[in-house]
Structure 1
Amino acid sequence: MMNNTETAPTAHPTPEAQPTRISGIGRVLVAVYGVLALAATGRSFVQIVGKFSEAPLAYTLSALAAVVYIVATVALIRSGSGWYRVAWIAIGFEMLGVLVIGLLSVFDPQLFPHDTVWSYFGRGYLFIPLVLPILGLWWLARHRPARAA
């Protein structure tokens, strides 16, 4: 038991205790990625199980988007340079997917008779799929992991 004159020992921060990419606004980013991962997974599951034959390309792309969101969420949560690279790859792929599928769905709507997560730049998700990778890549650029000494 400590009396008023004693002080608790001070802990020295370890590398594991240092702030991570998910501090501050990064927590919001991870939360939005997590919600989008759940939404895309649920949507693609229902589409594939219930009506896959109606639009196999669109529903497969929705499932791919769900996997990308899951990987991005995990990679943003985890620390280390390896996970940092995985986050860059996943979010970069997401950005490419949103742009390509978005443009194709605008210029050739017959390719996607049913919407995917990325159709019309994520219109069905309030354009969050278009904005999120921009914010994610910006966040990663601002929070590079420290190099090993």
Structure 2
Amino acid sequence: MSELSSGPGRALVAVYAVFTLSAGARSGYQLATAFDHAPVAYVLSAVAALIYLLATVALWTSRRRVALAAVGVELAGVLGIGLYSVLDPGSFPEPTVWSQFGAGYGYIPLILPVLGLLWLRRGAREPANG
């Protein structure tokens, strides 16, 4: 196990894995059954799932730069899509993982990248093991 995925990092990796599965399964189902209804929302949810997957793997394997990039893109996405969906709700006939700052997921999509960045910052200050 890597240093980023140890201790509290395990919980962070677990939450990222759950979001990878939930966003991926939801968007996969929506893309397969109702793509024409809200293609932008469904594709954005699929993109979010891919970013969650990248963050999960990067945190688990202690690839700090990749994790930082994935979590940074995630935060930018949730802030950008969140704001856009609040200002122009008609553009999103169906919610995405990041719509309204993750309201449909208990705002965890907004909190998760902040926690991820804090964990990466903390880990960068600790000396490497071994």
Q: Shared topology, TM-score over 0.5?
A: yes
- Residue type of the partner of 1:86? V
- Unaligned runs of at least 5 residues, structure 1: 1-16
Deviations 1:73-107 (A, max 9, x none): 0000003xxx2100000000000000000001101
Superposed displacement of residue 110, structure 1: 1.0
Match of 2:61 in 1: 78
Higher helix share: 2
1:39 aligns with 2:22: yes
Q: TM-score, normalised by structure 1?
A: 0.82
Shift >3 Å, 4+ stretches? none
Structure 2 counterpart of 1:136, one-letter code: G
Q: Comparing 100-109 with 138-147, which one deviates more in the overlay?
A: 138-147
Gaps of 5+ in 2: none
* Aligned-pair CA distance for 1:146: 5.6
Which of 82, 94, 111 is 1:102 aligned to?
82
2:7 maps to which of 2, 21, 24: 24
Distance in 2 separating the partners of 1:71 and 1:54: 28
Equivalent of 2:100 in 120, 124, 135: 120
The equivalent residue for 2:110 is 130
Kindly name which structure, 1 or 2, has the bigger radius of gyration based on alpha carbons: 1
Q: 1:117 is paired with a residue of what secondary structure?
A: coil
For CA contacts below 8 A with separation 6 or more, give which structure has more relative contact order: 2
**RMSD, aligned CA:** 1.5
Please give the alpha-carbon distance, in whole angstroms, between the structure 2 residues aligned to 1:38 and 1:107.
29
Aligned length: 127
Q: Which of 47, 52, 56 is the matching residue for 1:69?
A: 52
